[in-house]
Amino acid sequence: MAKIKLEGDRCKGCLLCTTMCPKGLLRQGDEFNSFGFYTVVMTNEDECTGCSICAEICPDVAIEVWR
């Protein structure tokens, strides 16, 4: 099982990670970060394979993945 850490204050809500997740586990959340952007949230961390595509595509290095 993988561990995902989403840094909300680094996220600018570009949603690139949501389009690249092969399982569709990331989505835009309902809360703003301190800069006024909607942040990304994980829908079901138990299903994450730890492929790290989301972390690689994130331009703001807002996602960390551990396997």
- Looking at residue 4, its pLDDT comes to 94
- Looking at residue 1, its pLDDT comes to 74
Write the DSSP assignment of 4-48 as a string of letters. EEE-TTT-----HHHHH-TT--EEEEEEE-TTSPEEEEES-GGG-
CATH number at residue 9: 3.30.70.20
- Looking at residue 59, its pLDDT comes to 97
Domain that holds residue 44: 3-66
Number of separate domains in the chain: 1
Phi, then psi, of 13 in degrees rounded to 5: 70, 30
Read off the pLDDT of residues 1-56 as tens digits, 9 standing for 90 and up: 789 999 999 999 999 999 999 999 999 999 999 999 999 999 999 999 999 999 99
- Looking at residue 2, its pLDDT comes to 85
